[in-house]
Amino acid sequence: MDLPQIGYFIVLSRVLNFTHAARECRVTQPAFSRSIKRLEWELGGDLLLRERSLTQLTEFGRSMLPLLEQVKAAADLARDEARHLQSRDSAPLRLGLSPWLAFPLIGAILSEVIASIRSMEFTIAVEAETVMRERMLRGELDVFVGLQADTLPERFNQWHLFSTGASVFLPQNHRLACEESIISTNLAEATLLGASEPEALPERILSQIARRVGRRPSTPHRAGNWETSLQLVRTGLGLGLGLSCWPTPAELVARALSEPVVEYDVVVETLAGRPQSRAATAFVKLARASAWTYAPDVP
């Protein structure tokens, strides 16, 4: 299939009239119809229901539309990007990072974007995930890297980067440090660190532990992000609950939470249909292409 064909179908799906769509695409109607027929053949099904006065998308057409829109958007973006390969125009990247993802995780990708795009202007926001998704919708952020949400607003594009388990972070001299991994019942009497946001990662892990041990372990102290949480572990305020992909500071140890087995998906998100700068596009492409050290099952 080629890009004009895909473009014709996207216009037709909007206006649902062959004559008007052909006019909008500036081709004759026979050429337009042939092109759509050819696309149907190549995709292996009827995209449209053609009735005398009514043109409608078939179920197959409805299922193919977002996929073809994605191909078209990616190609348009690449074409636009190619035009700016040698330009020095400013390329903003306004990135939102979950407070529960360690910055070093994206450090190498960011360095590569900076090295390739000298005119990049970088802004990073680290706030509660719900706040950042709202900021995306308001157009204040271009890209968000965070944990997969249970529900996502329709306008978001989301790509899975890798999955990671949960770990307990504890001082080297703690009695549980000699365990290979930790199960919920080990934590029933421990003081654990909670989070200042009810939906934040440590709270999600805590609710899983509470379900297993029948009550919530003691959590008198709460942190707002991964780094502070580890600082609180260092000062002896409790054991930290976090992701196995967090870097472990020298004086602490990380032990995988092996029961219950919990897994979190780390995703990158953009807002569909919003034009992206070259830096933002490059960041998303590099993130999606990356092997991610924490993805053990590649390929």
Partner 1 sequence: MPLNETLDALRAKMTSQAAAAFEEVMQRLDSRLLADNALKTGDVMPGFELPNAEGKLVSSVELLRRGVLIVTFYRGSWCPYCMVTLQALDAMLTPVLERKASLVALSPETGGRAQFVKSKYGLHYELLADVDNAVAAQFGVLVRLPPRYRRLLLSRGIEAETLHGGAGWFVPVPSTFVVAPNGIVVHAEIHVDFTRRTELETLPQALRALWQNE
**Closest to partner 1 by CB, 79 or 155:** 79
Which residues of this chain interact with partner 1, rule CB under 8 A? 1-3, 5-6, 38, 41-44, 64, 67-68, 70-75, 77-79, 81-83, 85-86, 108-109, 112-113, 116, 159-162, 282, 284-286, 288-292, 295, 298-299
| Axis-axis angle for helices 3-15, 18-25 (nearest 10) | 130
Q: Are 143 and 96 in contact (CB under 8 A)?
A: yes
| Neighbour count for residue 142 (Cβ, 10 Å) | 23
**Nearest distance from residue 12's CB to partner 1, in Å?**
18
d(CA 81, CA 197): 39
Of all helices (H) and strands (E), which one includes residue 91?
Answer: strand 91-97
**Nearest distance from residue 135's CB to partner 1, in Å?**
24
**Closest to partner 1 by CB, 83 or 234:** 83
- Which two three-digit tokens encode residue 249? 């500071």
d(CA 268, CA 127): 16
**Closest to partner 1 by CB, 256 or 295:** 295
Sorted by sequence, the CB contacts under 8 Å of residue 292 that are 6+ apart come out as: 161, 162, 298
**Closest to partner 1 by CB, 106 or 168:** 106
Radius of gyration of the chain, Cα coordinates, nearest whole angstrom: 25
206 three-class SS: helix
**Closest to partner 1 by CB, 113 or 241:** 113
**Nearest distance from residue 202's CB to partner 1, in Å?**
27
**Nearest distance from residue 253's CB to partner 1, in Å?**
28
**Closest to partner 1 by CB, 108 or 261:** 108
Of all helices (H) and strands (E), which one includes residue 22?
Answer: helix 18-25
**Nearest distance from residue 220's CB to partner 1, in Å?**
41
CB neighbour class for 191 (10 Å; exposed up to 12, middle 13-18, buried from 19): middle
Query: DSSP character for 101?
Result: S
**Closest to partner 1 by CB, 60 or 177:** 60
Sorted by sequence, the CB contacts under 8 Å of residue 171 that are 6+ apart come out as: 177, 233, 234, 236, 251, 252, 253
**Nearest distance from residue 164's CB to partner 1, in Å?**
14
**Nearest distance from residue 136's CB to partner 1, in Å?**
19
